Structure 1
Amino acid sequence: MTLALAAIAATSGGAVAQEEDLTVLPAPANDFQPELTAWGEPDFRGGWPIDHLNGRTPLQRAAEHGNRQLLTQDEYAARAEVVEALEQRYQNEDSSGTMGIGHWAEVAAANRRTSWITSPQDGQLPAFTAEGQRLSDAMRSTWVQGQEFNTWLDFDSWDRCISRGLPASMFPFMYNNGMRIFQSPGIVAIQMEMVHETRIIPTDGRASIPAQIDQWLGESRGHWEDHNTLVVETTNFKPGPSATNIGTTGSPRENKSPVSGQARLVERFHMTGPGQIIYEFTWTDPVVYTQPWSARLEWQRDDSYEIYEYACHEGNVQVRNFITASRAEREQAAAGAAGGSQ
């Protein structure tokens, strides 16, 4: 049973599906008291991979679901069938002696969420501002269909194995969904399998760095709220049209989602049980979006999940190969056009 479904069952007293309010998510429980570290902070340490969220839930909500946060039971059953068919690809390839997307893409059990976005109410990313649209149009990336490649500037930060960025790194992808939390006095670190990055989050009250210093993952400051919640605020993001791609199911086409220097991310890691964290955030970027947007994901502990080397493009040759192939394609097309005109 998924976390969302279990929470509904627990709060509805076994109510049938038609009695559920599908437009709201269950409020996170607040009565769990995590164990404390030796220095007195809530202990969140351990493995929190998000591969279990890779069950076809889109970032943005399909129009037919309106303002509903949850699928009906029939819709959930239909999604489960789709996921089951996707899961079967691995076995199908093994039985036929082939290896393809079934061995590459990880698929998890379906859940009832209509979208990861919880606000705006329609589950859609807000509209771009005029400047946001300009920055999006200027983005260069391997996600963009039909694009020519001439220099390293034609690739985004994920293409170049630098960073998937934020908030993109906190969403599931088709592989490499490992997350692990480490703690020491005054510091929380979140290790992410994708691109093998580690977020460093001071919780000791230190001042932030100057606004002129920007970083791919921004600069984070955290504090503990109540007895079970880590609140993190991140600013100082590196601006530019190639800063990040969201890159999860249901992301905008071609994932052209720029970041400005005024972007601000506020996250809440709310532990509701020894193996559950409700992760929520709000992303505000007035240069790019006409309003803030928020998302919620339910994490599950899995200390057995192992994070291996993230090789990205081994040998550091793929950027060069893209450029070489793009130039060769254009030369071939030009030669064909010249031959046809004779």
Structure 2
Amino acid sequence: MIKRAIPIALMFLSGALAAQSYEPPRTASGKPNLQGFWTNASLTTMQRSANYEEIGLVIPDDRLPEFTNDHHQNVRQATDDNQVQGELPDGSDLARGRGYNAFWVDPGSQFGRVRGQSRTSWITYPEDGRIPFSQQGNDLRSAAYARRGNDGPEGRSLGERCIIGFGSTGGPPMNNVLYNNMYQFVQTDDYLMILVEMVHDTRIIPINGQHRPDVLEPWLGDSVGYWDGDTLVVETVNLHPQQSPRNAAPLSAKGKIIERFTRYSDDQILYEFEVSDPVYYTEDWRGEMTFNTTDTRPYEYACHEGNYGLTGILAGARRLELEPASD
């Protein structure tokens, strides 16, 4: 354990020194300017895949081309999900039926680089890169998923209902998914607004504000921010109860999430997060990712326009109810 802790400590120290030597652009009031269009599209995921257990958090530079070329998302793009040109897909398979196949997804083609290193997971602690769910936390999550069904729209996922984004893109913590990984930051002295491309979520974070009464449990939680030197720190509590068990970081009324936004370079924001909750987890866990500048602009995510998927799911369930039960 000591042998692993020393290089990890040196890694974060070197990253901190690099950030300290960078002079960020500043607003008229002298605060680091976080504004702009950013993306966290990446092959790196929140939790570490078993494929990378042997190498841990940081991908060695000499193995990076191998892992990048062999990653299943890049293979999908290179082969177009093994589509045969000129052959009409029969729809029997979701991918071959042109559902969420390679044509429609845009997860990124490179592993995320944080503090100059390619990472296998955004989670940095625990060292195995996995969320340390407690038994109670797993039971709460299982109970939430068990309530899903087709009796009405309330039984479907929040993303299918166009309420908040899929995969915790709005956070906290803000996670990357298969597509729509763009964000727009708008900053004033009193607020940071984060527009999320996926399902057009918007976080409006007061700076030096106060948390609202606990009875209020908004989508994406109750967030307030403050400046710690050149880093904007955001504390979030009271996630909406329907969002909480399905979030990337589920949270009970006893939990909180701390996010830290630091301009690391002209092209990157270093985004750190720490999750604390004695109900869902056996210990606190933390991670970090980067938001990278992009010249691309997000399209409007008009989720409800043409949202025939939800109608089709419920209509299909009603049709099945009319069929006689099989023996």
Q: Shorter-chain-normalised TM-score: which range?
A: 0.7 to 0.9
Question: What RMSD over aligned residues (CA atoms) do the two structures have, in Å?
Answer: 3.0
Q: In the alignment, is the contact (CA less than 8 A) between 1:32 and 1:272 conserved in 2?
A: yes
Of 36, 39, 47, 2:29 maps to: 39
Contact 2:141 2:246 in 1 (8 A): no
Q: Which residue of 2 aligns with 1:9?
A: none
Which of the numbers 295, 302, 315 marks the counterpart of 1:324?
315
- Does structure 2 retain, via aligned residues, the 8 Å contact 1:230–1:270? yes
Preserved CA contact (<8 Å) 2:244 2:252: no
Partner amino acid, structure 2, of 1:311: A
1:137 equivalent to 2:142? Answer yes
Query: Cα 1:174–1:65, aligned 2, differ >3 Å: closer, same or farther?
Result: same
1:327 and 1:271 map into 2 onto residues whose CA distance is: 52
1:181–1:189 contact (8 Å) kept in structure 2: yes
Maintained 8 Å contact 1:79/1:110: no
Deviation at 1:22, TM superposition (A): 7.6
**Residue in 1 aligned with 2:275?**
283
**1:214 Cα offset (Å):** 0.9
SS of 1:195's partner is: helix
Match of 2:223 in 1: 220
Unaligned 5+ residue runs, structure 2?
Answer: 1-5, 89-97, 112-117
Choose the corresponding residue for 1:268, options 260, 266, 269.
Answer: 260
Name the SS of the counterpart of 1:103 in structure 2: coil
1:179 aligned onto 2:210: no
- How does 1:137-216 map onto structure 2 within 5 Å? 137-140=142-145, 148-164=149-165, 165=168, 167=171, 170-203=174-207, 205-216=208-219
Say whether the 8 Å CA contact 1:139–1:258 is kept in structure 2: no
Deviation of the 1:92 alpha carbon: 7.5
Shift of residue 331, structure 1, vs aligned partner: 4.3
Letter aligned with residue 42 of structure 1 = P
Alpha-carbon distance in structure 2 between the residues aligned to 1:236 and 1:168: 11
Q: 1:234 aligns with which of 233, 236, 261?
A: 236
Aligned residues: 296
Q: Could you say what secondary structure the match of 2:58 adopts?
A: coil
Q: Deviations over 1:229-251 (max 9, x none)?
A: 111111121124765343xxxxx
| TM-score where L is the length of structure 1 | 0.76
Deviations 1:56-100 (A, max 9, x none): x23222345258211234542322112442332459869658766
Change (3 A) 1:109 1:35: same
Question: 1:124 corresponds to which letter in structure 2?
Answer: R
The alpha-carbon deviation at position 224 of structure 1 amounts to 1.6
3-state SS of the aligned residue for 2:138? helix
Residue 268 of structure 1: how far off its partner (Å): 0.8
2:47 is aligned with what amino acid?
Answer: Q
Structure 2 CA distance, aligned partners of 1:92 and 1:213?
A: 49
Post-superposition Cα deviations, 1:185-232, rounded to whole Å, max 9, x if no partner, equal 3111111101101111111x2222111111111121111222x31111
Shift of 1:258: 4.3
Aligned with residue 117 of structure 1, among 123, 126, 135: 123
Please give the alpha-carbon distance, in whole angstroms, between the structure 2 residues aligned to 1:76 and 1:21.
Answer: 19
- 1:230 and 1:198 map into 2 onto residues whose CA distance is 18
- Secondary structure at the aligned position of 1:137 is classed as helix
Q: 1:48 to 1:150 in 2, by over 3 A?
A: same
Provide the rounded CA distance (Å) in 2 between the counterparts of 1:186 and 1:168: 20
Q: Is the 8 A contact 2:182 2:197 kept in 1?
A: yes
Query: What is the TM-score of this pair, normalised by structure 2?
Result: 0.79
For 2:27 and 2:299, locate their aligned partners in 1 and report how far apart those are by CA, in whole Å: 27
* Higher mean displacement: 167-176 or 216-225: 167-176
Shift of 1:148: 4.3
Cα offset for 1:297?
0.6
Q: CA deviation at 1:181?
A: 0.7
Q: Secondary structure at the match of 1:140?
A: helix
Residues in 2 aligned to 1:106 and 1:133: alpha-carbon distance in whole angstroms: 30
Aligned residue identity for 1:69: L
Distance (whole Å) between structure 2 residues aligned to residue 159 and residue 288 of structure 1: 25
SS at match of 2:263: strand
CA contact (8 A) 1:156 1:243 kept: no
Tell me by how many angstroms 1:281 deviates.
0.2
Checking the alignment, whether the CA contact within 8 Å between 1:156 and 1:242 is kept in structure 2 is no
> SS at the partner of 2:145?
coil
Distance 1:118 1:49, change over 3 A: same
Contact 1:238 1:260 in 2 (8 A): no
Query: Residue 71 of structure 1 is aligned with which of 29, 38, 59?
Result: 59
Give, in whole Å, the separation in 1 of the partners of 2:257 and 2:59: 28
In terms of mean alpha carbon deviation, does 132-141 or 183-192 score higher?
132-141
CA distance in 2, matches of 1:281, 1:219: 16
1:263, 1:285 within 8 Å by CA — same for their partners in 2? yes
